[in-house]
Amino acid sequence: MPAMAAIATVMLACSGPGALDHIRRNIAISTVLHAGALVFAVVALAAFAVRSCRTGRLTSTLVLAGLHPGWWVTAYSGDCGEARLALSVVATVICAVLALSMWKKPAASPTSRTTGPQ
């Protein structure tokens, strides 16, 4: 049911009193989320510099922060910026998860000491 509501929101045109304020609010929030994604990208870079591992996660975080919808998805397409806001939330959460997971210690690889004689 929430998916149907989201589709209906996107299909409805954004007009009437307060529409411009709603668009501006969504632009402001998505811009802040983009800044947050960039902060997480810097955190990922710092983790990479300290640990020098997990290049896939680093690359994913940097690419996602660089292509963040907060700066390229339009808010004037008829949905009052709702798509921009929703995509910005998703992208920022993914950046946060990727960046913060880089600070976890990598799992120790099994060695002959830990597995015993075979």
pLDDT tens, residue by residue, 31-81? 999 999 888 888 888 877 777 666 777 787 788 788 888 877 888 777 888
pTM, rounded to two decimals: 0.66
- How far is Cα 3 from Cα 23, in angstroms, rounded to an integer? 21
Rounded to an integer, the average pLDDT of 85-102 is 87
What does the domain layout of the chain look like in residue ranges?
A: 37-103
Residues 6+ apart with CB under 8 A from 91: 33, 37, 64, 65, 68, 69, 70
Share of the chain above pLDDT 70, in %: 74
